[in-house]
Structure 1
Amino acid sequence: MIAKKAAKREQTDVVGCPQCDWVSQRTELSKREHAECPRCGYFLEGAATRHHTLVAIAAAALVLLLASLQVNFISYSVTGSEQSMTLMDAAWQLSFFHEKVLAVLVLLTVILIPVLYLVSLIWVYSQIHNSGSNRLNRYFLRLMEHLKPWLMTDVFLLGTLVSLVKISGLAEVRLLEGFWGFSVFVVLLLYVYERAKRTPIWDYYMATSRPNIHVQAGMTANEQDLQTCPLCHALNAKDADKCYQCTEPQKTAWWRKPGTTLALIFAGAIMLIPAHWLPVMETVRFGNEQPATIIGGVTELWQAGDRPVAVIIFVASLVIPVAKVLTLAVLLLLAQRQTPAIVQNRLLLFKVTDWIGRWSMIDIFVVAILVALVRGGTVMSVYPGSAAVSFAAAVVLTMLAAMSFDTRLFWREAHK
C-alpha cells in the first residue's frame, strides 16, 4: 500500500512509479515512514518534514560554500617553496592550461550546480504557503530534480584526500580553512539532499485542474494508456505534451529509447580507449617530465605503500567505467529475454551500476587538485594530460546512458 501524509491542499489518490510504471494507491504516512512501490521497491515519497529546518540548514550550507571560496583550501611546501590554492583554483588552473572543458566541468559539478540546487531549494521551501508563486516554484522544483545527478561535492572531497596522499611523500601538506569549511558544507548538503528527497513537496504545489482521466491502482500506467511523469510521479494522458502538475515535457520518448542508450554506451566505450592509453597527467621534477597513465598512477601508489588509495583509484577509474559500459550493454541487449524471476536481480544490478558511475570522476578531481596546488616551476609541477578530457567524456556519457535507460522494459518484456 502506498501512503502519504495529508497536506493542506487537495491530493490525488494514486501515484505512478517511474521505474516500473506501476500505479498504486496512497494513504497517510506517519512520522519517519516512507512509501515504496510494491512492485519494484522504488522510493516514492516520505512523510513531511519541518520546512523551516530544511531551509535553515540549506542556507547554512550555502554560506559555508561561499565562505570556503574566499580562503585558501590546501597548501604544500617543498625545498623551501610554499604554494597554496583556493577551491576556485581547481577550475581556474585547468583553464589556464587550455583545458577549458575540464575547467567548466569542475566548476559546474563542485560549485555552480550545488549553489543552484541550494538556492532553488531555499526558494521552494520558503514559499510553500505563498499560493501566488506556483509557476515559478514548479520551475525551481523541476530544476532541483534535474541537478541532483550532477552534485559531486562528495566525490570531489574524496578526490582531494586522494591527492593529498599522492603528494604527501614528496612535500609537507597542510589542510586550511577552506578545506574544513568545504567538508562541513558537503555534510550539510548531503543531509539536505536526503531530507528533501523524502518530503512530499509536490502536495503543496498541486495543480488546481487535473486531466479528466480514469486511473486504476494495481495496473501499469501503460496498460491504461497513461504515462507516469518521471519527476513528480503524476499520471498523465498518453498523448500529453507536458505534465499537468509539474509542467515537465512528456514527449521525450526518443531519450528513453534503447537506440539512444546504446549510442551513448558505445560513445563512452570509445572514449575509454584514449582515456586509459594516454597520460592523464604529467609531473615535472627538476626539469624531468614524468607522464602518468591511470594504471601507472595506481601502480605507483601500490609500490609506495599506499595500497588502500591505490585500490580506490583502481576501482573508481578502471573497474567502474569498464564494468558500467559492459553491464549497461548486457542489460539492454538482454531486455527482451526477461522472465519475472530475474527482473529484480537485473534491476538491482542496474541500480548499483547507476549509483557508482559518478565516483569515476575521482581521477578528474585528483588531476584538478594537483594541477592547482603543485605549481613549483621546474622544481615540481603537475600538468593535465591529454587523457583527462577523454576520461571525463567517458564518465559523462555513461552517466547519460544510465539516465536514458528505460527500466520499464524489464517488466514489459518479462510479461509478454
Structure 2
Amino acid sequence: MRVTSNVEDVRVCPDCDQVNWVSDRASSRCQRCGHFLGGHTLSASHTLALIIAALLLLIPATEMTFVSYSVSGQGQQMTLLDSSRKLLAFHEQWLAIVVLLSVVVLPALFLMASAAVLLWRQRARSRLGRWLVRAIKYIRVWMMADVFLIGALISFIKLAGYASIEFGYGVMAFAGFVTLLLIVVERMKRHPLWPVDENAVEYRPMVGQSARAHQVLGCPVCYAANGSARTECWRCHEPLWTIRFRRTSLTVALLLAASVMLIPAQLLPIMETVALGTTEPQTIIGGVLTLWESGDVPIAIIVFVASLVIPIAKILVLAVLTILAQQDTSKRPQSALLLYRITDWIGRWSMIDIFVVAVLVALVRNGALMSVYPGHAAIAFASTVILTMLAAMSFDTRQFWARKPTE
C-alpha cells in the first residue's frame, strides 16, 4: 500500500513566507530558506509495520523491570511508569503529568494517530482525518522519549559509584521503542498526507514571492495558501487565528516568565539525597560538581550544558533575535534563521535534568539508608524549559524577510 497524492502543489513556507511550487516526486524544500515542505511518496505499509512494532515494544517497556540496583544488601527496582508514580506520591502532580505525557502518553498517541491516518483511505478529506493529521504535527513537538532515555542513562551512571546497577528487559524494550519512534517521526514528516491545493493555478504566479505581499496567508500546519478573508484553512481546517500567536509581544512575555522561573530553578535544590540519615540538598550546579569530582567528566559536561548553558543561551538568543527582527535583517536573514533553528531544536534537551530526578526518585527508595526526594527547583526548571519552548514557537521568523527590498 502506498500513499498517493497529486503531482504538484503550492505551499507557503512558514519560516520565510515565500510561495513555493512543490512536487511529490522528490523531497521539496523552500527555495529561499530551505524549510522542508514535503517529501516524495513513501510506502505506507513499511511505516505501519514500524508503528506496530513500536507499540508492541511499549508494552514490555512500561510493564517490565526498567532497572534495579542493590547497596549494602538492600535492593530496589523500578518500571518506566514508576518515574511518574513516585513523583505523584510526593505530591509533585505537575511534574508527574509532564513526565507521563512526554515519555509515554504522547508518543503512544502519535503512533496510533499515524496508523489511523495511514489506514484511512479518505484520511485527509474527512473532518476526523484532518483533525488527526493536525494532531500528529502538534503532538510531535512535545514527545521526549529520547531525552528521557538519555536522562535515565545519566541517572544510572550517577548511581554506579554507590550501588550495583542491573538493567532489566524494560530498558531494552524502551530503547527499541525510542529508535522506532524516531524513524516513524521522520517518515511521517515525508508522507504526502494532504490533498493537492485546488487553487494551485490561482497561486502559481506568486511562486517565489512573499505570500503576505499578495494578501495570502500560509497555513501553519499544512502550508496551504489561503485568502486573507478566510478564518480557517480550506485544506486542514486549522483555524487561521492561531497565526496570531506568532507575535513579538507574546515571545517577550514568555521569555520574561522563563527568566523569572530560571532563578529559583538554579538556586533551590532540584533533589534531596538522604544517606545514612543525613539529608543533603543538591542544586543543579551541585550535581554537576559531584559528577565532575567523581570522575564522570563527560556526563558532568552534558548535564552542565543541558541544564545551565542551554536554558540561558536560549533566552538570550531569542531576545537578541527579537531585537534584530525589529530592524532591517535583509542582509543576513539566513544566518538569523539558522541560529533560530538551532536554538529551537536544542531547547527540549534541557529536560534531561528533570528526567534524571524522576528516575532517581523512583529507583532510590531505601529509607534512611539511601533515598532521593524531588526538590522545589524541579517544578521551576521544568517550567523554564516549557516556557522557552513556547517562546520559540511564538517567534515569527517571517520578520527576517519582511523588509527585503525586493518585497
Instruction: Establish whether TM, by shorter chain, passes 0.5.
Output: yes
In the TM superposition, residue 9 of structure 1 has moved relative to its aligned partner by: 5.1
Aligned to 2:36: 43
Alignment size in residue pairs = 404
1:19-30 superposed matches below 5 A:
19-27=15-23, 29=25
8 Å CA contact retained: 1:76, 1:171: yes
In the TM superposition, residue 135 of structure 1 has moved relative to its aligned partner by: 1.8
- Could you say what secondary structure the match of 1:69 adopts? helix
Question: Partners in 1 of 2:112 and 2:93 — Cα distance?
Answer: 26
Question: Partners in 1 of 2:187 and 2:93 — Cα distance?
Answer: 35
**Aligned AA for 2:10?**
V
Cα deviation, 1:97-151, whole Å, max 9, x if unaligned, reads 0111000000000000001100000000011x34797221111100000001111
Aligned to 1:254: 244
More off after superposition, 312-321 vs 252-261:
252-261
TM-score by length of 1: 0.93
- Could you say what secondary structure the match of 1:201 adopts? coil
1:301 equivalent in alignment to 2:297: no
Moved over 3 A (4+): 6-13, 130-133, 209-215, 413-416
Question: Partners in 2 of 1:298 and 1:166 — Cα distance?
Answer: 10
In the TM superposition, residue 343 of structure 1 has moved relative to its aligned partner by: 1.0
**Aligned AA for 1:42?**
H
More off after superposition, 254-263 vs 156-165:
254-263
Aligned to 2:378: 388
1:407 equivalent in alignment to 2:403: no
Aligned to 2:12: 16
1:235-384 superposed matches below 5 A:
235-384=225-374
Cα deviation, 1:340-389, whole Å, max 9, x if unaligned, reads 33111111100000000000000000000000000000000000000000
8 Å CA contact retained: 1:72, 1:84: yes
Question: Partners in 2 of 1:196 and 1:132 — Cα distance?
Answer: 14
Question: Partners in 2 of 1:77 and 1:132 — Cα distance?
Answer: 53
Question: Partners in 1 of 2:47 and 2:103 — Cα distance?
Answer: 21
**Aligned AA for 2:232?**
K
8 Å CA contact retained: 1:336, 1:414: no
- Could you say what secondary structure the match of 1:231 adopts? coil
Aligned to 1:153: 145
Q: Which of 167, 171, 188 pairs up with 1:196? A: 188
In the TM superposition, residue 199 of structure 1 has moved relative to its aligned partner by: 1.6
Question: Partners in 1 of 2:404 and 2:162 — Cα distance?
Answer: 57
**What fraction of aligned residue pairs are identical, expressed as a percent?**
47
In the TM superposition, residue 51 of structure 1 has moved relative to its aligned partner by: 0.1
Aligned to 1:181: 173
In the TM superposition, residue 191 of structure 1 has moved relative to its aligned partner by: 0.4
- Could you say what secondary structure the match of 2:402 adopts? helix
- Could you say what secondary structure the match of 2:372 adopts? strand
8 Å CA contact retained: 1:337, 1:414: no
Cα deviation, 1:219-277, whole Å, max 9, x if unaligned, reads 11101100101111100011211100000110124311100011001100110000000
1:207-246 superposed matches below 5 A:
214-215=203-204, 216-246=206-236
8 Å CA contact retained: 1:213, 1:237: no
Question: Partners in 2 of 1:268 and 1:388 — Cα distance?
Answer: 14
Q: Which of 154, 157, 171 pairs up with 2:163? A: 171
TM-score by length of 2: 0.96
Question: Partners in 2 of 1:162 and 1:131 — Cα distance?
Answer: 41
In the TM superposition, residue 202 of structure 1 has moved relative to its aligned partner by: 1.2
* Cα 1:253–1:193 shift into 2, 3 Å: closer
Aligned to 1:3: none
8 Å CA contact retained: 1:20, 1:407: yes
8 Å CA contact retained: 1:282, 1:385: yes
Question: Partners in 1 of 2:287 and 2:96 — Cα distance?
Answer: 22
* Cα 1:28–1:91 shift into 2, 3 Å: closer
1:101 equivalent in alignment to 2:97: no
Q: Which of 57, 65, 72 pairs up with 2:50? A: 57
8 Å CA contact retained: 2:70, 2:165: yes
Question: Partners in 2 of 1:413 and 1:91 — Cα distance?
Answer: 48
* Cα 1:270–1:163 shift into 2, 3 Å: same
In the TM superposition, residue 13 of structure 1 has moved relative to its aligned partner by: 3.4
More off after superposition, 217-226 vs 109-118:
217-226
* Cα 1:187–1:10 shift into 2, 3 Å: closer
Question: Partners in 1 of 2:260 and 2:227 — Cα distance?
Answer: 39
8 Å CA contact retained: 1:52, 1:126: no
